[in-house]
Structure 1
Amino acid sequence: MLYKLALRNIFRQRIRSVVTLVAIVFGVAGLILSGGFVKDIFVQLGEAIIQSETGHAQVFREGFREKGSRQPDRYLINDPGPIAARIATSPLVRDVSSRLSFSGLLNNGKRDLAVIGEGVEPDKEARLGTFLKMVSGRTLTEADTFGMIVGQGVAQSLALQVGDQVTVLVNTTGGALNTVDVEVIGIFQSFSRDFDARAVRIPLAAAQELLATPGANQLIISLHQTRDTDDALAAIKAQLSGSGLEAYSWKQLSDFYEKTLQLYDRQFGVLQVIILVMVLLSVANTVNMSAFERLGEFGTLQALGNRQRDVFRLILVENTFLGLMGGTLGAVIGVALALAISAIGIPMPPPPSANTGYTAMIRLDVANVATAFLIGVVATALAAIFPARRVSRTELVEALRQRT
């Protein structure tokens, strides 16, 4: 009986109900859209880092992460082939490639530039590096024995173009100086402007010849699915136990990603609180006015034998029903808007320290939609508690006087 009466009251007070529903729908849909937008930022930023720099995980000698950038020759994996083959047996792993890091000078015949280089396996890197945009020329292939691709910043600093001959000067692992002449076959642009300002890549075989070593500094693991990173990392660590090697995931290797994640998590948390307060105030105001106008009706209910707590429950159930209706409508509208916006795309400017913009979308997530729905329902129910309590405790005589 209580539920039937609550539903009848909702449809009888149409204007008030519509105003309340609009506030709930706006809040729920706003949470779905903003949450989906933030999630897309996380996904696209993560994929950009994975596919242009880190891979899903990396294996290297203990201490390389802290000191390897300054002394990469001291942290070599002398025979990376068997280790890579063992890691590649996992069904989660798509590719395992080797990288040999070096630092040195790049000379164009007129001036030098300090660069940070990598010897890579071209075919495997091509499958991983889908976020590397070739501004000019082409990417490396296995046939490019002495070819090089350079970051856009490097090319601008040395005025390099595709086809130019440059000389790389480095210290070998034995401490001697060595040089190699290479041809610039491509100029790339990655996600990071700082990376492009110093980065060059040559084939792994050329880097090993340049540094006079058969080893590599890093094994780059590429997975079929990014969501399998934690499981794959645990399996890799178990394989490497006691070998003097360590493995890290892309999140652990990217301090920028973790800080960005924390920043947007805090911002989205504040947004959720703002929307919750907005719904609470809107609904509380509407319920308060409606309850005051219906004070005589509630007095009549008490005169007919209903207790104060019955009136309280009636108001609370009415608003819970409104919350369920508004939450459902808001979820449907939010999902529909998310699909429509994603189909069109949202052009975004380059993030800080990045080179290129991207097209954002609204990523639908079951947890995000469910959370937005629950916030709409709970906020509406909470907003009704104070007005319901005040009205239900009004003296019977005072309530009946309002009816006249």
Structure 2
Amino acid sequence: MFSFKLGLKNLTRQKRRNVITIMVIAFAFFGYLFMDSVMGGMEEMSFSNIKNYDTGNIQVAYPEYWEDREKLPLENLIYLNQDIVDSIKNMDGILGVSPELRFKANLNNGIDETVVLGLGISPEQYNEVFATQNYIIEGSMFSPGESKAVIGVKLAELMDLKINDYITLLVRTKEDTFNTIDVEITGLLNTPNPMINNGVVFVPLDIAQQALNVDNGFSLLALKTASGDEDKIGKVLMDSFKDKDLELQAYSWRESAESIIALSTAKKGGIGTILLVVLLIGMIGIINNVILSALERTGEIGMMKALGMREWEIVFVFMVEATGIGILGGLAGCLIGFAGVGLMAKYGFGFNVMGIDISEYGIPILDKIYGTWNYPAFSFLFILSVTVALLSSIVPAYWAAHKDPVKAIYHR
């Protein structure tokens, strides 16, 4: 008990150095918590944007098409009657089904030309799966059979287009012959997913099918499911296709977001590196503090040993002092981190303030990035700070306690 009280009392000695050590640990922890929140927010928003504006929760396609989907082929398309589509929609957990015909196109405004992704959709079904229509900032969505199109504002700015302008889409048909789709721009959209804003042209599904000469074929079915049920519903779909002798496969949105998931994996590695740096900072700070305290109290250590204190009791004094610094540093770090993460979660941060377009790095986010709460990280860091402080103090504390009492007393 005496060693414990003495260790606590020693915390009030050399206040300036102890406060500096505590604040170094606190801001190191704050940096980790803040970066973890930002990275978590980026991951969450990226996945949400992919599901809500690009892939849906599940995509249904033929395996042959899926393997070449990046090339946007017009082979291995799906030809299903409406009854089968309706039967899929009526399955438990499926909230919407949208057929999509994806194709390459060159957009021509009469002067300039650029490569775009053409997307033939049925507006009513598309809106059951995706939230894109909510972000039409000018004009409106077209109806089936209309020779009209909706494009992103960034694409419109690039090609100097506005509502009611006419554009021509130069496409290759299924027979690899050239054809054109002449449409009027009826709507401009600005979604949180920059990939949609920059290079996609939405046209009615029937217009695209006619121009590409694919009859009633489409590339894939995009499905919206109840949150978190993708794997379960995917298995049910696969069993249903097998029962109907269909060679279709159900693919999770994760399989369309491999690059984003790879970025997420890299993020976890980066967070791990930051944590390692935080640990090193904490260890160095504690070790430095214990060694300096031991050097300053060499005479006191010799006197305590001469009066009968055992080495382990002296070691315990330094361990209590170091652990106290770890506890205070951990608490301060968690409090500062709580404030920083709270502000980030509530107000977010826009990289456009610094003139940075993060979509250029493959991250499908346009709006502000908002932080996420990772409460286990707070508990983990606090426990880690106490543990690291305790373990880091053992070796230097033993070095201090192992001094010869006579030499320590007469230390100059």
- The superposition leaves residues 247-290 of structure 1 with CA deviations (integer Å, 9 ceiling, x where unpaired) of 33333212431342244333333322222222222222122111
Question: Is residue 372 of structure 2 the alignment partner of residue 372 of structure 1?
Answer: no
Q: Does the aligned pair in 1 maintain the 2:194–2:359 contact within 8 Å?
A: no
Alpha-carbon distance in 2 for matches of 1:47, 1:243: 30
Aligned to 1:56: 57
1:361–1:70: structure 2 CA closer, same or farther, 3 Å change rule? closer
Aligned to 1:35: 36
Aligned to 1:351: 358
Structure 1 residue runs without a partner (length 5+): none
- Map of 1:376-395 to 2, 5 A cutoff? 376-395=385-404
1:102–1:317: structure 2 CA closer, same or farther, 3 Å change rule? same
Alpha-carbon distance in 2 for matches of 1:12, 1:83: 78
1:191–1:296: structure 2 CA closer, same or farther, 3 Å change rule? same
Aligned to 1:277: 280
User: What is the total number of aligned residue pairs between the two structures?
Assistant: 402
Match of 1:222 among 224, 236, 244: 224
Alpha-carbon distance in 1 for matches of 2:97, 2:280: 50
Question: Is residue 408 of structure 2 the alignment partner of residue 399 of structure 1?
Answer: yes
Alpha-carbon distance in 2 for matches of 1:342, 1:157: 33
Q: Does the aligned pair in 1 maintain the 2:60–2:248 contact within 8 Å?
A: yes
1:88–1:325: structure 2 CA closer, same or farther, 3 Å change rule? farther
- The superposition leaves residues 149-170 of structure 1 with CA deviations (integer Å, 9 ceiling, x where unpaired) of 1345654565432112344454
Aligned to 1:339: 342
Corresponding letter in the other structure for 1:383: S
Deviation, 1:218, is: 1.2
Aligned to 2:203: 202
Match of 1:265 among 253, 265, 268: 268
Deviation, 1:36, is: 0.7
Deviation, 1:351, is: 0.6
Deviation, 1:173, is: 4.6
Deviation, 1:26, is: 1.7
Alpha-carbon distance in 1 for matches of 2:113, 2:371: 46
Alpha-carbon distance in 1 for matches of 2:318, 2:156: 70
Q: TM-score, normalised by structure 1?
A: 0.83
Alpha-carbon distance in 2 for matches of 1:156, 1:252: 32
Q: Does the aligned pair in 2 maintain the 1:68–1:74 contact within 8 Å?
A: no
Deviation, 1:185, is: 0.6
Moved more, 30-39 or 82-91: 82-91
Alpha-carbon distance in 2 for matches of 1:67, 1:375: 48
1:109–1:351: structure 2 CA closer, same or farther, 3 Å change rule? closer
Q: TM-score, normalised by structure 2?
A: 0.81
Match of 2:372 among 331, 350, 363: 363
Aligned to 1:330: 333
Moved more, 138-147 or 343-352: 138-147
Deviation, 1:99, is: 0.8
Q: Does the aligned pair in 1 maintain the 2:326–2:389 contact within 8 Å?
A: yes
Alpha-carbon distance in 1 for matches of 2:88, 2:314: 67
Alpha-carbon distance in 2 for matches of 1:28, 1:302: 37
Q: Does the aligned pair in 2 maintain the 1:61–1:76 contact within 8 Å?
A: yes
Structure 2 residue runs without a partner (length 5+): none
Alpha-carbon distance in 2 for matches of 1:230, 1:395: 67
Which SS does the other structure have where 1:95 is aligned?
strand
Deviation, 1:390, is: 1.0
Q: Does the aligned pair in 1 maintain the 2:151–2:189 contact within 8 Å?
A: yes
- Map of 1:158-307 to 2, 5 A cutoff? 159-168=160-169, 170=171, 172-173=173-174, 180-189=181-190, 198-210=199-211, 211-225=213-227, 228-230=229-231, 232-233=233-234, 235-237=236-238, 239-240=240-241, 243-307=246-310
1:80–1:71: structure 2 CA closer, same or farther, 3 Å change rule? farther
Corresponding letter in the other structure for 2:217: G
Corresponding letter in the other structure for 2:95: R
Corresponding letter in the other structure for 2:294: A
C-alpha root-mean-square deviation of aligned residues, in Å?
Answer: 3.5
Which SS does the other structure have where 2:217 is aligned?
coil
Alpha-carbon distance in 2 for matches of 1:399, 1:234: 74
Alpha-carbon distance in 2 for matches of 1:105, 1:30: 46
Moved more, 90-99 or 364-373: 90-99
Q: Does the aligned pair in 1 maintain the 2:57–2:224 contact within 8 Å?
A: yes
Alpha-carbon distance in 2 for matches of 1:357, 1:251: 20
Which SS does the other structure have where 2:164 is aligned?
coil
Corresponding letter in the other structure for 2:76: Y
Alpha-carbon distance in 1 for matches of 2:403, 2:13: 23
Question: Is residue 312 of structure 2 the alignment partner of residue 309 of structure 1?
Answer: yes
Moved more, 329-338 or 256-265: 256-265
1:134–1:289: structure 2 CA closer, same or farther, 3 Å change rule? same
Moved more, 19-28 or 141-150: 141-150
Corresponding letter in the other structure for 1:382: L
Question: Is residue 101 of structure 2 the alignment partner of residue 122 of structure 1?
Answer: no
Alpha-carbon distance in 1 for matches of 2:133, 2:401: 66
Deviation, 1:76, is: 1.6
Which SS does the other structure have where 1:98 is aligned?
strand
